[in-house]
Amino acid sequence: MRNYRNQIILSFILLFVMLPNNTEAKNDGYEIVSKLSSESITLYAKKFGSLYRDFKIDFKGETYFRPFWMNDTNPAYAPQIYYEDINKDEKNELIITLTKGYGTGVLDEEVYVYSYSNGLIDVLIDNPMAIINKNVKTKLSDERAEVIIDGKKCSVDITPLEIKPENLFDDIGFGSIINYNVEDNHLVVSVSGQISPASFVGRIVIVYEFRDKMYQAKLIEFIPCK
């Protein structure tokens, strides 16, 4: 009788130990926010209001936590995952872009790049606004917007936009729209140039390359709005 009772107690103990793991796997608050199934890479996060926070990366069976990341919960702005060789070392890098906010004339993205060597290693990326401040000169008048990069000037006639003088900025502003992509195995960022609360004249496109152990600008160009 005692052996039978002990077996029952043991069964309950095992059931109690096993159930929390299964329950946690299903109800720990995490949900899939993006995945790259072909490479076994999945992003999980917890929803807090209109934002996902407390991210978790499942990278080919290994788990990495990123508690301070955030991304809007709108599915149209879900995190983007790339797994490509963007530094020409014949090994793929993990690139993840997040959207922290969006709206009319606003897109706030950030990017993270990881190499892999016995684990994911965060690689530095030069801030696009710092690149623009160092390399781009601008001038704005009632008639024209000018962007100068490496001595090459691009002038845009803004009179067709019919902007009221009181709405015109003192100079071209950059940073309200920042959009990262991976194109032709290069990390690329597009930063829009704004001249009034509702008017843009073009965008600065920066193509990165891996140099001196970080991603720095390889090419900077201005593309006017059509």
Residues 26 and 6: their CA atoms lie apart, in Å, by 31
Burial of 143-171, coded b for 16+ CB within 10 Å and e otherwise, reads eebbbebeeeeeebebeebebeeeebeee
Tokens matching residue 71? 């991304």
- In degrees rounded to 5, what are phi and psi of residue 138? -135, 160
pTM for this prediction? 0.85
* Contacts of residue 127, Cβ cutoff 8 Å, sequence gap at least 6: none
State the pLDDT at residue 154: 96
Residue entry with tokens 């608050």 = 29
Q: Which residues lie below 8 Å from residue 172, measured CB to CB, with a gap of 6+? A: 138, 140, 145, 147, 193, 194, 195, 201
Digit-by-digit pLDDT tens for the chain (226 residues) are 444 455 544 444 333 333 333 333 344 889 999 999 999 999 999 999 999 999 999 999 999 999 999 999 999 999 999 999 999 999 999 999 999 999 989 999 999 999 999 999 999 999 999 999 999 999 999 999 999 999 999 999 999 999 999 999 999 999 999 999 999 999 999 999 999 999 999 999 999 999 999 999 999 999 999 8
3-state secondary structure of 104: coil
Which residue, chain included where needed, has tokens 């991304």? 71
